[in-house]
Amino acid sequence: MLGARFLLQNSEQTVEQIAKALGYQDVSHFSRQFRQHHGLPPHTWRKQHHALALEAGI
């Protein structure tokens, strides 16, 4: 999941593209796994961390 977080935070790839790049054939399975590890689905996690980065001036 560390690779997923990195890609969500540092790339413009879609969640679907990230899931495929990490070897998931089922995007729903990737999303469930991500939510179990991080408490949020990937789309929501990306939005929140993008907003935090903007606030921090990153």
Asked whether residue 53 carries a pLDDT value surpassing 90, the answer given is no
Number of domains observed in the structure of the chain: 1
Asked whether residue 49 carries a pLDDT value surpassing 90, the answer given is no
Q: Which domain holds residue 37?
A: 2-56
pLDDT at 52: 66
Asked whether residue 2 carries a pLDDT value surpassing 90, the answer given is no
Mean pLDDT of the chain: 90
Instruction: List the CATH number of the domain containing 13.
Output: 1.10.10.60
- Annotate 11-45 with b (16+ C-beta within 10 A) or e (fewer): eeeebeebbeeeebeebeebbebbeeebeeebeeb
Question: For residue 12, which amino acid is it?
Answer: E
pLDDT at 18: 97
Q: SS3 of 1, please?
A: coil
